[in-house]
Amino acid sequence: MAVPPPPGIYVPVPTFFSKSDPKSSTTQAGIPPLDLATQTKHGLHLASSGIRGIVLLGSTGESIAVTNTERKTLISHIRQELDKAGYKDYPIIAGTATQGIEDTITQLQISKDAGAQWALVLAPGFFATCITQEGLKQWYTAIADSSPLPILIYHYPAVSNSLPLSPSTFTALSSHPNICGAKLSHGDLSLHTQLASSPLASMSDEKFATFTGLGQQLLPVLTVGGAGAIDGLAAIFPKTVVRLYELIKAGEIEEARKLQEVVARGEGLVVGYGVVGAKEGVRRVLGWESECRLPLVARMGEDAWGEWEGVVRELGEVERGA
| Catalytic site positions | 183
Angstrom distance (rounded) from CA 113 to CA 109:
6
Q: Name the nearest CA neighbour of 186 among 228, 219, 144, 158.
A: 158
CA 127 to chain centre: 23
Give the chain's radius of gyration (CA, Å): 19
Q: Name the nearest CA neighbour of 131 among 168, 165, 104, 95.
A: 165
Point out which residues pair with 152 in neighbouring strands: 120, 181
Burial 9-48 (b: 16+ CB within 10 A, else e): bbbbbbbbbeebeeeeeeeeeeebbbbeebbbbbbbbbbe
Angstrom distance (rounded) from CA 250 to CA 70:
41
Phi, psi angles (nearest 5°) of residue 19? -65, 140
Q: How big is the CA angle at 75 (ends 69 and 77), to the nearest 5 degrees?
A: 100
Q: Please check whether residue 282 is in contact with residue 236, taking contact to mean a CB–CB distance below 8 angstroms.
A: yes
Q: Name the nearest CA neighbour of 125 among 136, 113, 112.
A: 136
